[in-house]
Amino acid sequence: MDEKSSPSSASIIISSIIIAVCIFLTWMILSNWRSTARISEVPENLKKIYEGATIHADRALLKNKKSLELPWFPASTELTPSIRCCRNGKPAKCTPGGRDDLSYNPELWETDAWKDLKFLLDNPHLFRYQFENTSTDKMNSFSAKALWEPQCDGKSVTYSRSGVLRGNRVHSYPGIKKTSY
């Protein structure tokens, strides 16, 4: 082979570095995409719970506009499902009515509070959900929560969306809040 057609050591090293950087960037993009795909259920489900609480408050307001004693929002729920959505130390989907170790009874969504919110999950999901009626004597408020354990080590990440009744309307606190424990 003549010298003009064979690659130099420098060009081989530069090509190797470029390939390594491309592989690293692809890995980073795919890791971020997987993480985003995992939390994609949260905004829609928290929106449904929030809207259910808002409709419940609107109905209570229509029934009796004079009383501030009404339960404006449904009662608090337990964390549903009660099982952790983890398998072999990694997040895995819980299945309502399924037939494996991450299956649970879909009737857990049939409590009065979940029915009042018109919320249930009938497809596999990674998060567990809870509604908290945080009302006091002076303020009617609630928080809708989605909880998961990204490392399945007992440390959870909670996404929440809250609302408060002011006058005759439910007002949302801005956006979805993320809290790590």
Q: DSSP string of 81-145?
A: SSS-SEETTEE--BEET-SSTTEE-GGGGGSHHHHHHT----S-BS-EEEEEE---SS--EEEEE
Asked if 107 and 12 count as a contact pair (C-beta separation under 8 A), the reply is no
What pLDDT is recorded for position 38?
A: 62
Distances (CA, A) of 109 to 47, 81, 105, 130: 17, 8, 9, 11
The confidence score (pLDDT) of residue 13 equals 82
Query: What pTM was estimated for this model as a whole?
Result: 0.76
Dig out the tokens for 55 from the structure: 């409709």
Q: Are 103 and 95 in contact (CB under 8 A)?
A: yes
Backbone φ and ψ of 77, nearest 5°: -110, 165
Residue 89 to residues 54, 129, 143, 154, Cα–Cα distance (Å)? 37, 20, 29, 10
Give dist(CA 76, CA 133) in Å, integer: 5
Based on C-alpha coordinates, what's the Rg of the chain?
A: 24
User: Which structure tokens are listed for 144?
Assistant: 């809708």
What pLDDT, on a 0 to 100 scale, did the predictor assign at position 33? 42
Q: What pLDDT was estimated at residue 5?
A: 63
Q: What is the pLDDT of residue 25?
A: 64
Residues of the chain scoring pLDDT < 70: 1-6, 22, 24-38, 65-71
Res 68: pLDDT: 55
